[in-house]
Structures are given as structure tokens and as C-alpha cells.
Structure 1
Amino acid sequence: MTVGESVIVAIGNALLDITASGSKELLDRYGLNANNSIMAEEEHLPLFEELSNNNCPVVYSPGGGSQNTIRMAQWILAEPKSCVFFGCIGRDKFGQIIQKQMEELGVHANYLIEKDHPTGTCASIVTGNERSLVANLAAANCYKKDHLMKPENWDHVEKSKLIYVAGFHLTVAPDAIVALGRHAAEKNKIFSFNLSAPYLCEDCMDQILSVMPFVDYLFGNETDFASFGKEQNMGTEDLKEIALKTAVLRKENTKRQRTVIITRGHLPTLVAYDGVVTEYPVKAVDKEDIVDTNGAGDCFVGGFLSQLVQGKDIRDCILIANYCASYIIQKSGVTFDEKPNLPQIVVALCFYVFHLSIIALNTLRYSIKYERSNIPRC
């Protein structure tokens, strides 16, 4: 099936992931801990150049939540320029690396070039089976709505069938996100959003609530939704109830009911729609085959959207989503082979067919549907 150009548009933080082997001495020198994640402070900034200039092998790959998702969707669709990405990078070698790799994958990337800040980076220092992550958003924090609204850029939005935003961008350009959501509602296009992290639910609820009325497909993991339910005073820790209550929060586009998708690692994925929560099993990956779980959630969404934009049903969307997540956790960073492994997808399909009866048994049908209401304001 030919999908055409600019069918999926995403906006988000454009980062360059720098993955390299390190040592305890390196971690100690920068005050880092293994298996931890921090935002870079002034004393960490030389680390990025040091990693890129040392004699050890370094893997560069575009990173950031939305950018990971759009790359996975593009890889699955395999049709040049079917996916479009907006973000901000610096005028430097790291920005050039991002641009080159996005172009090679076939993504139509439209970057605002920031003169006064370097390209955002995330260092991933591997020591044994552990990773220490250090993120420096830099230019990624400088994206402006004005760039999106330029006629040559907004034209891609007009052509799109589906729009995606990760929650991380709420701290950068919430006005741009609202503009995209309003466009989707007015044109009856699909608008999808990711809660992305528990701290966003705690610190950025007003921004989330400004976007929520436009959201047709809402993604997140169990900790994201647990935090959302708590901050919204839903009075329950049951993820299924939280999903159902979230699904019926106020919507601008009443032609589409909201679908809520909650990933839970190796546990079944929860999908809430029309008062029903369905559990979709996840094909387990052998522990010894797991290399890096960073980006699994982003790539799950990329696989899902690649099928949704083609009009596939929810089961097919979840099938490819789980394939993409299991594929990426067996790679170092969000990196891709030349083409998707079709035999692996067939195996995954057989797994799902085998579990259809189990899915039916695990579907929880709630007799009480929550009435639609205005989103509560904190």
C-alpha cells in the first residue's frame, strides 16, 4: 500500500544520542553513577566532546522521544518522506549528523537552526550491562511556534493524516502543540500524544490539560498513567479504571472517541476504548537478548502509528507496535537494520493469532461507562 508523503507529522526535542563504552574512572571523573539518568550541569558539558573525540567506538543516532517515534514509523512504512519531523538543532557537527541520518532513513526533517546554542545531546556511557545517561537539551529547548507556522512548513501539516507529539515538548513549545491539536480537531485528523514521563504529570499538568481535549490516541507506560491518575484525583490506582476515566475526558472532536494505550513492559498492553479495556499479550524477549530498553516506548508508538495511518485495526497496530519495541530492545540505541525483518513479523503475527482466544478472555467489559465531563483543572 502506498501511503504518500507527509502522512505523519511529529514535533519534538531533536537530540543526538552518543553511545560509547566507558569506565568507572570516567564516571567518577564526572560524578556519574552507573544505571542512572540525569540532566547535564555545567561540569558535564565537556563529556560530550570527550566521548566523540576518544579512540573508543562511538555510535551516533538521532534521539529524543518524538524523533525516535517518527524514525521507527518511517522505517516500517519504508516510503521516502512519508514522515515529517519538526525540531531545533544547533549549527554544528552534531546537528549535521542528525540531519544526515534522518535523510538517509527517509524522514523529511525540518529543523529550526539555532545559532547561539549547540545541538542537544544525550550521552549514554556503557559500563558492563549498565548505562549512565546524561542529557543536555541545549538547542532542542529553543524551538518556536513561528517556525512551524511558516507556509512551507505548515503545508506538511495540511497534507498530514496523523499528528504526533511526545509530552517532553510541553516544556518547549506548548503553543505549537495546541496549534497542531486544534488543526487536527478542525480537520478531523488523528492527533496522538504521549504522557512520556511521570514528572511531566506532576510538573506540567496545566500544559497537559491544554492539549488533552485534542487527543484521539493517548500513550504512556504504567508509571506515567499512575502519576496522571494521582494528579487528577481519580481515586484509584487500578490502571484499567484510570484508562477508562482518561478515555472519556472532554474532547474537541466528538467524531472520534479517545483511545488510551498503556504499555507495561513484558505484561499485556492495555487498550481502553468505548468503555472497554482489552489486554494484548506481549511476546517475551529472552533476557540474554535484551541489549538496551531505552527507546522501547517511543518505538512501540512508531510501530503503532505506522499501521494506524494506513487504516489498520487496533489489533494490527498493537502487533506491529510490540514487534518494534521488541526489536529495538535488542539493539544498542535506536538504530535500524536496512529493512524490517519480515519473517520476525510473521512469527509475531502467528503468536497473536494463537492468543486471540486469550485476548477475548482477558477483555474486561465494564457495565458502567463514565459520563463525559470537562477536564478538571488543578
Structure 2
Amino acid sequence: MSQDLKGSLVGFCNPLLDISSVVDDSLLAKYKLKANDAILASPEHVPLFQELIDSWDAKFLPGGAGQNALRGAQLLLPADSAVFIGAVGSDENAQRLKGAADKAGLRTNYMVNEEKPTGTCALLITGPNRSMVANLSAAETYSVEHIKKPENWKNIEDAKFYYITGFFFTVSPETIERVAKHANENNKTFTMNLSAPFVPQFYKEKVAETLPYVDILFGNETEAAAFAQNFGIESDDVKKIAKAVADLPKVSSKPRLVVFTQGAESTVVASSDSDEVRVYPVTPVPAEEIGDSNGAGDAFVSAFLSQHILGRSVDECVEAGTWLGGLVVREIGPNFPDRKLEYVPSGSFVPEISKL
């Protein structure tokens, strides 16, 4: 099994070191931030990073949505199944990121920028909410030229599954296009995460060009609403949005699966080959057990993808995602429990079926 899955999953995103702090609403107001959002840093946000370190007991955590998801997937897959690709600086923060990947058994293939530091992400935690402000730095210099090199392109040729975050549209849409077309031409599975509301808003054209290649699309309820608003879907019902997105044009005959999480609320799954929309229950984590919500969505993707690669049913993939998301939300930051992780299907995880 391990030999069959060696290098089978490749993911692309912006590897970032998280600077995480529990803050109050006054800091959000100072920098005009929303309690639950993800944005790119503007010049007015630059002082925020040092302020977190100086005044808010900041902790340094390995981050970057794609690398988080790939770390979790590798923890649930046979050894050497997953490879992560992105750009870092030649500095201590890059070593911190690689160290976290190494601990999970995740192989990294970084493009190293000698001129810029490794990117960082400010994580402002207010109760169960988190606001993310990313300063991409070296991460934004990733170039398609890196993946064109034969020794790096071999990672793409060896893989059967690909995971791209919407954040990567800000950096290298050329890489996304190249990998998406390779997946389609070779009957492989291409998956994508909307990642943040600004992605379908400000990168609508690139998302529209990529979506026909997407076999599985992930997102949350706010990203679903942003997609609907920017792509002319006249509904605020997550079930109807999921089905409408699933039915958008596709270049291959393979059905498209759309998976929208809603935090502690239900998870919605729609497919282009069925009129049924599945709505899965989520058992809320008691408030006193919540560390913070950062990384819970990435953990859901981790477990879903790992079980999909292992050939499990959609019901089992969603149950696995819900299980791992519930574990990670109990941690501080995008961390996985420090023990061996193993998903065991319950056999009783049954969705509510809606027909639209």
C-alpha cells in the first residue's frame, strides 16, 4: 500500500509561519479587521506583526493553509504519500516550517528565495474566531519555472491527486493552470479550496478558468456566499449554491464534488451527477474545550482527502474530516494532536438528503 501511494498527493500553497495571539476587539478595530476573515497585508498592517510579538504574547506556529492540510493528510496516509510545494526564504523561519513538515513525515519541495524572508501570517484570536493577515514575502515569489525543472516536475508526474488553495492564485496562476491541465490529460484528480472570500471576488477570472478542471472543490459558508455573489448564483442557501457550483461546466466527464463546511453547523456536499444534496451533522465542540478555530478547516480537508485517496465513500470522507476538525479546534493554532492519528469509520454517519 505504501509503495502504491508514494508521492500520490501533491499540494501547492504559500508556506507561512503563523504569529498567533489571543487579542481583544480593540486590536481588530485598530487595524480595521474582521473577527473571521483572511486578507493579504497592506502597508497599514505592517506594524501589526511586531505589535503581536511585543504586546500580545505571540506564539510562533507552522502555518500556511496548504502545508497544514498536507501535514494532516500525511499523518493519516502511508509513509511518503504527500509532497508540499511552495516558496520560502533562506532563514530560520523556513527551517521551523520544514521541521514541522518533517515531524509529520511530509516531504517538502521548497523554492528558496535568497533575497526575501519566509512569509508570515498574523493570527488574531478572539474567542472562537480568528482573523488572518498574511505577509507573503518569499511565498509570493514562487514561479512556474520551479515546477518546470525535470526533478521537480517528476513530483507532478508521480502524483495522482493534487490540492491547490485559492491563496495560490495570488502567487502563481500559471502553475495552477499547468498542473490542472496535466491532471485532466492524465485522468488524475484535481482538487481546490476557495480559501477566502477575496479569492472569488478579486481573482474571479482565474478561478473561472480553473474551475472546469476541478474534480473536488472545498470551501466554507462565507466563501460559498462570495462565490455566489461574484458568479451570478442568485441564492444565499448553501445547499443551492453547492449544487449550482457542482453543475458548472467541466472539461472531463468525471463528476464534480463540492464540499462546503459551516463551522459547528452542518457540512453540505453536492455532486454534478446527482440531484441529491447531502447535509451532514456536526457535533459542536464544547466552548470550554475550544483552543481556537484556526486550522480546523484545513484539518477537515486533510482527513477528507486522505480517506478519498484510500478509496473510502463520501460519507466516510466527511465523517473523517469532521472528526479531525474537532480534534484540531481543541488545539492552539493549526496543530494536530501529538499522538498517532487513525480514523475508524463509525458506520452510522448518515446525512440528511435534500433534492433541489
- TM-score normalised per structure 2: 0.89
Which amino acid is the alignment partner of residue 269 of structure 1?
Answer: T
**Distance change in 2, residues 1:23/1:182 (3 Å):** closer
Work out whether residues 12 and 86 of structure 1, in 8 Å CA contact, stay in contact via their aligned partners in 2: yes
* Corresponding residue number in structure 2 for 1:325: 325
- Structure 1 residue 168, shift from structure 2 partner: 0.8
After TM superposition, the structure 1 = structure 2 runs for residues 211-360 of structure 1, keeping only pairs within 5 Å, are 211-254=210-253, 256-273=254-271, 274=273, 275-342=275-342, 345-346=343-344, 349-350=345-346, 353=348, 355-356=349-350, 359=351
Work out whether residues 10 and 85 of structure 1, in 8 Å CA contact, stay in contact via their aligned partners in 2: yes
Cα distance in 1 for partners of 2:256, 2:127 equals 42
- Measured against aligned partners, the alpha-carbon deviations of 1:185-205 in whole angstroms (never above 9, x if no partner) come to 111111001111112111111
- Structure 1 residue 66, shift from structure 2 partner: 1.1
State the SS of the aligned residue for 1:363: strand
* Corresponding residue number in structure 2 for 1:66: 66
**Distance change in 2, residues 1:182/1:48 (3 Å):** same
* Corresponding residue number in structure 2 for 1:363: 353
State the SS of the aligned residue for 1:9: strand
Work out whether residues 34 and 127 of structure 1, in 8 Å CA contact, stay in contact via their aligned partners in 2: no
**Distance change in 2, residues 1:131/1:304 (3 Å):** closer
After TM superposition, the structure 1 = structure 2 runs for residues 129-144 of structure 1, keeping only pairs within 5 Å, are 133-144=132-143
- Structure 1 residue 315, shift from structure 2 partner: 0.9
* Corresponding residue number in structure 2 for 1:107: 106
When the two chains are superposed, the root-mean-square deviation of aligned CA atoms in Å is 2.7
Cα distance in 1 for partners of 2:331, 2:355 equals 37
**Stretch deviating more after TM superposition (92-101 or 301-310):** 92-101
Work out whether residues 12 and 84 of structure 2, in 8 Å CA contact, stay in contact via their aligned partners in 1: yes
- Structure 1 residue 113, shift from structure 2 partner: 0.6
Cα distance in 2 for partners of 1:7, 1:31 equals 41
Which amino acid is the alignment partner of residue 265 of structure 2?
Answer: L
Work out whether residues 13 and 87 of structure 1, in 8 Å CA contact, stay in contact via their aligned partners in 2: yes
Which amino acid is the alignment partner of residue 213 of structure 2?
Answer: F
After TM superposition, the structure 1 = structure 2 runs for residues 6-25 of structure 1, keeping only pairs within 5 Å, are 6-20=7-21
Cα distance in 1 for partners of 2:258, 2:127 equals 37
- Measured against aligned partners, the alpha-carbon deviations of 1:234-261 in whole angstroms (never above 9, x if no partner) come to 222222222222112111121x100111
After TM superposition, the structure 1 = structure 2 runs for residues 139-150 of structure 1, keeping only pairs within 5 Å, are 139-150=138-149
Structure 2 residue runs of 5 or longer lacking an equivalent are: none
Q: Which has the larger radius of gyration?
A: 1
- Structure 1 residue 134, shift from structure 2 partner: 3.9
Cα distance in 2 for partners of 1:42, 1:205 equals 24
- Measured against aligned partners, the alpha-carbon deviations of 1:197-252 in whole angstroms (never above 9, x if no partner) come to 11211111100011001000011111111121121212222222222221121111
**Distance change in 2, residues 1:142/1:278 (3 Å):** same
Matched, 1:186 2:176: no
**Stretch deviating more after TM superposition (94-103 or 35-44):** 35-44
- Structure 1 residue 35, shift from structure 2 partner: 4.7
Cα distance in 2 for partners of 1:239, 1:182 equals 29
Matched, 1:124 2:114: no
Which amino acid is the alignment partner of residue 136 of structure 2?
Answer: L
- Structure 1 residue 31, shift from structure 2 partner: 5.7
* Corresponding residue number in structure 2 for 1:76: 76
- Structure 1 residue 268, shift from structure 2 partner: 1.6
Aligned residues: 351
- Structure 1 residue 55, shift from structure 2 partner: 11
Which amino acid is the alignment partner of residue 364 of structure 1?
Answer: S
Percent of aligned pairs with the same amino acid: 37
State the SS of the aligned residue for 1:84: strand
**Distance change in 2, residues 1:139/1:235 (3 Å):** same
Structure 1 residue runs of 5 or longer lacking an equivalent are: 367-378
**Distance change in 2, residues 1:23/1:6 (3 Å):** same
**Distance change in 2, residues 1:102/1:233 (3 Å):** same
State the SS of the aligned residue for 1:234: coil
* Corresponding residue number in structure 2 for 1:370: none
- TM-score normalised per structure 1: 0.84
Work out whether residues 34 and 130 of structure 1, in 8 Å CA contact, stay in contact via their aligned partners in 2: no
Cα distance in 2 for partners of 1:217, 1:153 equals 24
**Distance change in 2, residues 1:4/1:339 (3 Å):** farther
Cα distance in 2 for partners of 1:120, 1:365 equals 44
Cα distance in 2 for partners of 1:257, 1:43 equals 44
- Structure 1 residue 104, shift from structure 2 partner: 2.0
Cα distance in 2 for partners of 1:15, 1:153 equals 21
Work out whether residues 263 and 269 of structure 1, in 8 Å CA contact, stay in contact via their aligned partners in 2: yes
Cα distance in 1 for partners of 2:234, 2:201 equals 16
Cα distance in 2 for partners of 1:148, 1:65 equals 20
After TM superposition, the structure 1 = structure 2 runs for residues 7-46 of structure 1, keeping only pairs within 5 Å, are 7-20=8-21, 35=35, 39-42=40-43, 45=46
**Distance change in 2, residues 1:23/1:181 (3 Å):** closer
- Measured against aligned partners, the alpha-carbon deviations of 1:271-308 in whole angstroms (never above 9, x if no partner) come to 11222201111122111111111121111111100011
After TM superposition, the structure 1 = structure 2 runs for residues 82-97 of structure 1, keeping only pairs within 5 Å, are 82-97=81-96
- Structure 1 residue 23, shift from structure 2 partner: 8.8
**Distance change in 2, residues 1:138/1:236 (3 Å):** same
